[in-house]
Amino acid sequence: MENRQIAALFEKMADLLEFQGANPFRVRAYRNGARRLEDLPDSVAVLIQSGEDLTKIEGIGKDLAEKIATLIKTGELPQLNELMVEVPEGVLALLRIPGLGPKKAAVIYQDLGIDSLEALRVACQAEHVRKLKGFGAKTEQTILAGIDLAERSGERVYWATADEAIQQLVEYLRKSKAVRQIEAAGSYRRGRETVGDLDILVDAGDANEVMDRLAAYPEVDTTIARGDTKMSVRLTSGLQVDLRVVPTDSFGAALQYFTGSKEHNVVLRGMAKQRGLKINEWGVFKVGDDQEEVYLAGETEKDIYATLDLPCYPPELRENRGEFDYTSVDAIPKLIEVADIVGDLHMHTSASDGKQTIREMVDAAKARGLKYIAITDHSKRVSMAHGLDSDRLRDQWREVDLVNDELDDFVVLKGIECDILEKGGMDLPDDVLTEADWVIASVHYGQNQERQQITDRIVGAIENAWVSIVAHPTGRLINKRDRYAVDLETVMHAAAENGKLLELNANPARLDLDDVHCARAKQLGIPIVISSDAHSIGGLDVLRYGVKQARRAGLTAADVANTKDWHDLQHLIRRG
């Protein structure tokens, strides 16, 4: 088992224990252990095999170390299995409702007998929940509003999560001697920020051999269905995988069809019909007057589009959002790639809530081929993250100067993620911000304010002479927290007028701005910065998720500021 999987099981243990009212210290131990495993760069399975003592890892005591060893050895945790028997499965769905939490979920279950989202919806609509002790009408409405979000979060996972699962599975299936070609399709291939089922297409000499290999995959929990050329399984993670085995002369047609999107395919098929053609997952066919179908193409996606004199569109653009305006290969913009990114302008160190020192983040960034980074720890308002006041920040900047003195081909920028205060204005005075190379303005508090108030706060920050960029401009957490009520169009126009940048936060739980708003920023001429918001060395690796989102927005390297060296990037910002 991987660190991520073990961490998820520990989080589940913590939820179930808290639901039962267990000792808070015991609950906290599981949560701390889960977070430590997620941040740990080394595989605990490898550490165990090499005889390492897991209790040497901060946050992992003897009890958790033994449970990790059990999970690595057996793939199961007896204590978790016992809890799952005691607590109905449906209760876990209640825990996905933003702000509800295990304690309130327990009250709802014990007092009303509710163990599903639909039953909770009915109870809220009937105004039963507000009568519970510690609830009320406002809480009931908040729960009701969060049920839809909880339902969506149960159906779809982050693209990053799907990517990890599908890369491992495709590599496993590729080793079958029967496989000639194999590709992932669906919303995963298009780079949607969340993914439902995983679609895999295979061109194989023996369909049964491939399906037998899928059935033997260690992560398969249940085989849902199996036919002659199609098989559906559910992984232990809960993801459903649909495998289709198609003939070579239909592989491209099937890849195009099952990649989608539905909206893109509807337009494509309409265009084909106008030419007397038919397109489906088997190929492109000429339809005669007698309705006889003659096969024309299907081996590659390029062949499919060529029959309509169209270029083969990048999968990320296939949403019927203007891609058909590109009628030739030369007309399609060269979408940004991970290799285009040369700097990372949002990260945290151990001075606030990060894990590593400045020097460690520099070394890690250099190892990843970057040319510059900005150290942007939190400002003092974020007290829970040990945010920096003016004195501590200036001390850090002196340290940055010392590090830069030791570097020849790399630049460390003196930055800060400065909070936009609830009442408006910046968390640090201008005489401090003027000394920075890079100032990020962000909202962490007052996210439930009225639309005008929160918009005014952000616009006010943009108008501050020393601010460079607004980070995660809508504050959303995918599947967990909706964006705050901000007039993003007003914010964007303010950014364009004041020569400020907007962030595409590459954290897979944020991806904020989303693809639609990144495309709008491009229309307004606002440079986007794709940032990691890393809190550890491993956090630097999320930049590729931001790039995937940017590609869906049609962004090129020219649209993204941190594809430029630091000297050129500075000219994009009006500061001072």
Q: What pLDDT shows up at residue 200?
A: 98
Q: What pLDDT shows up at residue 104?
A: 87
465 bridge partner residues: none
With respect to residue 575, please indicate whether it lies within any of the assigned structural domains: no
Smallest Cα–Cα separation from 146: which of 113, 108, 112, 111? 108
| Rounded Cα–Cα distance for residues 446 and 204 (Å) | 56
In a shared domain, residues 308 and 206: no
99 falls in which pLDDT band (50, 70, 90)? Answer: confident
The alpha carbon of 102 is separated from its chain's Cα centroid by a whole number of angstroms, namely: 25
Q: What pLDDT shows up at residue 154?
A: 58
In a shared domain, residues 391 and 496: yes
In a shared domain, residues 75 and 113: yes
CB 230 within 8 A of CB 243: yes
Domain extent, residue 288, equals 251-331
- Quick check: 490 pLDDT over 90? yes
35 falls in which pLDDT band (50, 70, 90)? Answer: confident
**What are the tens digits of pLDDT across the range 51-76?**
889 998 878 999 999 999 999 989 88
In a shared domain, residues 42 and 181: no
Judged by average pLDDT, the poorest of 49-53, 174-178, 410-414, 538-542 is 49-53
- Quick check: 542 pLDDT over 70? yes
In a shared domain, residues 454 and 554: yes
In a shared domain, residues 518 and 487: yes
Q: What CATH number corresponds to the domain at position 228?
A: 3.30.460.10
Considering only CA atoms, give the Rg of the chain.
Answer: 26
CB 231 within 8 A of CB 187: no
Q: What pLDDT shows up at residue 410?
A: 97
Smallest Cα–Cα separation from 67: which of 29, 18, 25? 29
* Domain's final residue, options 331, 347, 380: 331
- Quick check: 180 pLDDT over 90? yes
Q: What pLDDT shows up at residue 290?
A: 80
Q: What is the mean pLDDT of residues 215-233?
A: 92
Judged by average pLDDT, the poorest of 18-22, 106-110, 138-142, 529-533 is 18-22
- Quick check: 151 pLDDT over 90? no
In a shared domain, residues 203 and 299: no
In a shared domain, residues 49 and 118: yes
* Confidence (pTM): 0.79
In a shared domain, residues 352 and 268: no
With respect to residue 576, please indicate whether it lies within any of the assigned structural domains: no
In a shared domain, residues 82 and 142: yes
Give the number of domains in the chain. 4
% of the chain beyond a pLDDT of 90:
73
In a shared domain, residues 484 and 565: yes
152 falls in which pLDDT band (50, 70, 90)? Answer: low
Q: What CATH number corresponds to the domain at position 393?
A: 3.20.20.140
- Quick check: 173 pLDDT over 80? yes
Q: What pLDDT shows up at residue 153?
A: 55
* Domain's final residue, options 297, 331, 365: 331
In a shared domain, residues 61 and 94: yes
Q: What is the mean pLDDT of residues 350-367?
A: 96
**What are the tens digits of pLDDT across the range 245-287?**
999 999 999 999 999 999 999 999 999 999 999 999 999 999 8
